[in-house]
Amino acid sequence: MTDTTHARALSGTGVSAPQTVHANLTAPGLTTHALRRGEGRLSADGAFMAVTGVHTGRSVADKFVADDPEVTQEIWWGKVNQKLDPAKFEAFTTDVRAFLGAQPELFTQDLYAGADPAHRIKVRLVTTNAWHAMFARNMFIRPPVEELEGFEPDYVILHAPEMEAKAEHGGRASSTTLIALSFAKKIIAVAGTSYAGEIKKSIFTVMNWLLPAKGVLPMHCSANVGKAGDTALFFGLSGTGKTTLSSDPERALIGDDEHGWTKTGVFNFEGGCYAKVIKLSKDAEPQIWDASHRFGAVLENVVADERGNLDLDNGSLTENTRSCYPVEFIPNTQPGGMAGLPKNVVMLTADAFGVLPPIAKLTPAQAMYHFMSGYTAKVAGTEKGLGKEPQATFSTCFGAPFLPRHPEVYGKMLAELIERDGAQVWLVNTGWTGGAYGTGQRMSIKHTRALLRAALDGSLSKAEFVQEPFFGLAIPKAVEGIPAEVLNPRDSWADKAAYDKTAKDLQSRFEANFETFAGAVSEDVKKAAIKAAA
């Protein structure tokens, strides 16, 4: 490459040009370089397989935000957004740039975040590895070639996974990993972790910062649209089924994880999917299965035999095995990644206690309450240090780790949008039934799909609903094809006294968590709150 091309590829990054810069290569070129460099291998079907080492999930304790004076008053400081002294951020990024500039070759990608041209940002990634460049190329929106000329980034990602962060960089003294971002300088720097999800979620954090000021709600949700133009949103944390349930052959996929809700509709932030594939079933999830078994997909920490045949049941590296592929690998996708206003909003939870119903219809006040609560169970392996067992957790707005602003900012926006656009909200449990984790069984995906289709086509709203006594949820009395004992979780437990005790325990957890945001909600929401029985 010429010096001119070097300068263009690294413009705005502050990185000096090494010997070779591979700019905006497509999957064939990136795969060739990744194999040449020994970054991984191919599966029998041609997908690129990478192993990320010690970090097989996000390092949440190593994420820091520069405490720049122009933004400090608006940031939700605490465990999610840990303060980093601006001078230390500068020292860290200086060292990352020096590390990158000293490499014999680098890979850059110029990409968009945001399908809606009115709300998109330009992102430039500079990384040491071809496979990370391919991940980013799969994950974000790929501009047409003619739009790359003169591309100047709004945000820059400096990605140096092989570099070790130092104590003087301001992160954790005991850690060599640091993910730091500055909203003022519009820079993200990553060191000490090869887990590619850090690239994706850093930009999601940026979108969560930028869009509320423009009157757009950023959401940790998947989305699809029916043949009648009815858009549906699926909120939920990792492992709750966002990707699986939104990949429906009967509905066009808008996107699997991150979206914005505007005055006119919904748009995807991304151009790809990042599916959790542990125990992926070809019968239950054929679209994701096919997308993961082809050239162009990037597989993280997936195990295969010597011939490259995938063993998706093997969690020996991590339970958080991942497949990243362009959204068009799913056969039925929404052109342009945009659709109309939501008609249905689904809040997904993987209830590890097994006491929530498979589906419940929420009032607007309950919708706000459950959005702010964000109850689910973290699935083993999605975060470093979580351990082998799922843990019940509350993550406000179903995405607390990615919210730079105070949660009530997003909560109030959602409440206003639901009221304005008249969307019906549903709570869906994709977790356990018939007992808690370890005793009961995982909810049947066939039952979940059937209930969702009834909700989305409007037929479920016409059913007779009854209120279950523990959580105040309206549950359907009968749905064709669904056993009655499945609809009412207490009926699915052999030991009713054990159910009552477990449900009361979860009531108490909801009540304790509500104290963290009770002061920021309306009286209607306070009345809808789950309270422990006296």
Active site residues: 58, 201, 220, 238, 242-243, 257, 322
For helices 27-36 and 130-139, the axis angle rounded to 10 degrees is 150
- Residue 424's closest CA among 340, 345, 339? 345
Give all strands (DSSP E) within 51-104, no chain letters: 63-66, 82-84
231 labelled binding-site residue: no
369 labelled binding-site residue: no
370 labelled binding-site residue: no
Non-local CB neighbours of 375 within 8 Å, separated by 6+ positions: 349, 351, 392, 393, 394, 509, 510, 513
244 labelled binding-site residue: yes
195 labelled binding-site residue: yes
508 labelled binding-site residue: no
236 labelled binding-site residue: yes
- Token pair, residue 431, equals 């977790």
178 labelled binding-site residue: no
448 labelled binding-site residue: yes
410 labelled binding-site residue: no
* Owner of token pair 């959204």: 327
241 labelled binding-site residue: yes
238 labelled binding-site residue: yes
149 labelled binding-site residue: no
Percentages (nearest 5) of helix, strand, coil residues in the chain:
30, 25, 40
Non-local CB neighbours of 160 within 8 Å, separated by 6+ positions: 96, 99, 100, 127, 128, 189, 190, 191
Instruction: Give CA–CA dist 372/14, Å, rounded.
Output: 40
Whether 267 and 340 have beta carbons less than 8 Å apart is answered as no
**CA separation, residue 351 to residues 278, 335, 430, 432, 452 (Å):** 19, 34, 7, 6, 17
For helices 407-421 and 364-373, the axis angle rounded to 10 degrees is 150
Give all strands (DSSP E) within 251-378, no chain letters: 252-255, 258-261, 266-268, 272-276, 298-300, 303-304, 310-311, 322-326, 338-339, 342-349, 359-362, 375-378
416 labelled binding-site residue: no
41 labelled binding-site residue: no
Full 3-state SS string of 133-186: HHHHHHHCECCCHHHCCCCCCCEEEEEECCCCCCHHHCCCCCCCCEEEEECCCC
Instruction: Give CA–CA dist 244/350, Å, rounded.
Output: 13
Phi–psi pair at 226, nearest 5 degrees? -85, 175
257 labelled binding-site residue: yes
Q: 6: how many CB neighbours lie within 10 A of its CB?
A: 20
321 labelled binding-site residue: no
Query: Which residues are documented as binding site for ATP?
Result: 201, 220, 236-244, 285, 322, 448
Query: Which residues are documented as binding site?
Result: 58, 195, 201, 220, 236-244, 257, 285, 322, 448
Query: Which residues are documented as binding site for substrate?
Result: 58, 195, 201, 322
Query: Which residues are documented as binding site for Mn(2+)?
Result: 201, 220, 257
